[in-house]
Amino acid sequence: MSKTPSDKLHRLIRSLSPVEKRYFRIFIKGKPGVDTKYAQLFEALAASETFDDEKWKTKIYKSQDVGSKKYSELKAYLYELVLKCLQNYDELHSTHHRLNQLLQSVAALFKRGHYADCRELLAKARKLAKMHESFAHQIEIVRWEKQLAYTRMDIDFLHKNLDRLQDEEARAMEQLRNASHYRRAFFQAYATIKKDPLQRGPDRVARLRQLIEQEAFADPDAAVSHTARVLYYRTLSLYYHTALEQEKFYETGKTLIALQESQPHFLRENLSDYIATLSNQTVACGLLQKYSEVRICLEKLRDLQPITEDDRRKIHRQYFSTFFAMCTYTGEFGDGRREMERCLLEAENFDPHDYETGSFYLQFVPICIGCGDFDMALDHLNHWLAQRRTVGREDLQSLARILSLILHFELGNFLLLDSQLRTSARFLKRKNRLHDLERRFMHGIFEAIKLPDVRGQREVFAKVKNDLQPKSQEPETRALLQTFDLLAWLDGKARGQAFATVVREKYLRETADSDI
């Protein structure tokens, strides 16, 4: 049986930025046979949005009778050539690659006896390694310094510099060990939180508390490098968020942002941690109703220039998910609707193997409800329900069922609603998610569709809203209301006002109260 053609070469070439494609074309100039088949294949794959191996093979070899093995060898050669080109490209932009290159040059010069030139390169490497806290490279640089002195029998150099070299080596080894300890603690905390995202009991908080009660977390000065201190605050941030210590979560995030921004050269090498910090801070500010600071974090996210494709995906996802959450809370549904279109347009540029828009569909629903477009809201909800279910999506099934009932009520599908109510109740009961809130809301909808007059419906919705109001501070209810303000929708129905109007009034009232 013939093997299915691999699309990895096509995906690699399609993922290249315009600058990287241009660099590849320059990279292969001067190589023998620049107009040969591998160059033609590169251009064919770069121009093609869809995978079509047979079409490319025909385009390259025309009517020649060529076996699949020869074509596979051509693809393999091109794949390796693109990787080599990208390695060269990264050496121009990455301190890690630059340090490796300097030390490889030292090794080449040493082998040929150019010891003075070795010293010159090691001085450059030491300055770069210290600036970027590349502790492993610092240790290697000290090793070369000693090796050079030993090879040249330079006793005078060793007499003057041995103590300094020993101190540098010990310091770098301690910083490496120290950063490794905080990195291990961070990933232990992260794994503990992500292992069971639905489990929020005291056991998990206790495990995390044990982690941060270690001596290493008693004082930030125990973290002896910028790298370690960033990990110190990131670990504390995870704990405070999980333990629902909102003020400390906010203050830790504020400190962490200032720390990371104080050393911008680190951000030019790695943006991933900074993106996560900004994203977490939008959550912290939102919880404390510091909405002006949420907007500042959003602007910072939007202005970032991604270094990697993963950065680009994260910036896109974090920016839009936070922006939509803000619009849903503030009642700025028109702004949300406009950004929905830009979000989906940008998402088309991502590789579907690594990115899917499904997680946004549920956020689109409240925005469309706020704009009064119930048909589009139902389309987005159905798209979300059709996605593959994950643990996170299981946790949102109650909300999805409530939104479905709301949309069918708004569309006047009362006959359908009757069966939907029974279906939703059975589904949530089977999933052990038919809590008091869901039960009371469904009962209210059932009563409302049996009444012919609007006045009677308003009375039902007012009663349901008053029944559910005391439950709004319970953890599960609060989590649901963060995605969709059910109480605002019930209030709007009770008062005969639009959902968007009620949400906006509530937001302005709360922000006015917080300014007093």
List, in order, residues 6 or more apart from 188 with CB less than 8 Å away: 211
Q: Is the pLDDT of residue 494 over 70?
A: yes
pLDDT digits (tens, 9 = 90+) for 362-402: 899 999 999 999 999 999 999 888 877 654 455 577 888 88
What is the pLDDT, as a whole number, of residue 38? 81
What is the pLDDT, as a whole number, of residue 377? 95
Distance CA 237, CA 231 (A): 10
pLDDT digits (tens, 9 = 90+) for 176-222: 999 999 999 999 999 888 775 545 556 788 888 998 999 999 999 99
Q: Which of 321, 316, 308, 309 is nearest to 282 (CA)?
A: 321
Distance CA 343, CA 121 (A): 47
Distance CA 256, CA 297 (A): 13
Mean pLDDT, the chain, whole residue set: 86
Over range 243-271, report the average pLDDT.
95
Q: Which of 349, 289, 341 is nearest to 320 (CA)?
A: 341
* CB of 378 closer than 8 Å to CB of 366: no
Distance CA 468, CA 217 (A): 42
* CB of 176 closer than 8 Å to CB of 224: no
Distance CA 338, CA 341 (A): 6
SS (H, E, C) 275-337: HHHHHHHHHHHHHCCCHHHHHHHHHHHHHCCCCCHHHHHHHHHHHHHHHHHHHHHHCCHHHHH
Q: When comparing pLDDT for 130 and 207, which is higher?
A: 130
What is the pLDDT, as a whole number, of residue 168? 96
Q: When comparing pLDDT for 155 and 351, which is higher?
A: 155
pLDDT band at 423 (very low <50, low <70, confident <90, very high): confident
SS (H, E, C) 185-236: HHHHHHHHHHHCCCCCCHHHHHHHHHHHCCHHHCCHHHCCCHHHHHHHHHHH
Place of tokens 């960033």: 230
Phi-psi region of 355 (alpha: psi -120 to 50; beta: other; left: phi over 0): beta
Residue 215 is given by DSSP the state G
Q: Is the pLDDT of residue 434 over 80?
A: no
What does 442-487 look like in DSSP terms, one character per residue? Answer: HHHHHHHHH--SHHHHHHHHHHHHHHHGGGGGSHHHHHHHHHS-HH
Place of tokens 């950004």: 339
Q: What is the pTM of this model?
A: 0.79
Secondary structure (3-state) at 106: helix
Domain boundaries, the chain: 8-93, 95-180, 205-331, 391-516
* CB of 142 closer than 8 Å to CB of 123: no
pLDDT digits (tens, 9 = 90+) for 302-351: 999 998 888 998 999 999 999 999 999 999 999 999 999 899 888 887 77
Q: When comparing pLDDT for 359 and 286, which is higher?
A: 286
Q: Is the pLDDT of residue 515 over 60?
A: no
Place of tokens 């939180």: 193
Phi-psi region of 133 (alpha: psi -120 to 50; beta: other; left: phi over 0): left
Distance CA 363, CA 355 (A): 17
Backbone angles phi, psi at 428, to 5 degrees: -65, -35
* R_g of the chain, CA atoms, integer Å: 30
What is the pLDDT, as a whole number, of residue 4? 60
Amino acid at 237: S
Q: Helix H segments across 5-67? A: 8-15, 18-27, 37-47, 53-61
Place of tokens 């994260």: 314
Distance CA 398, CA 476 (A): 10
CA 454, 455, 461: angle at the middle one, nearest 5? 85
Place of tokens 């949102």: 396
Q: Is the pLDDT of residue 263 over 90?
A: yes
Q: When comparing pLDDT for 195 and 280, which is higher?
A: 280
What is the pLDDT, as a whole number, of residue 391? 47
Backbone angles phi, psi at 451, to 5 degrees: -95, 135
What is the pLDDT, as a whole number, of residue 253? 97
Q: In the numeric block, which tokens belong to residue 136?
A: 């492993």
Over range 139-152, report the average pLDDT.
95
Fold of 205-331: 1.25.40
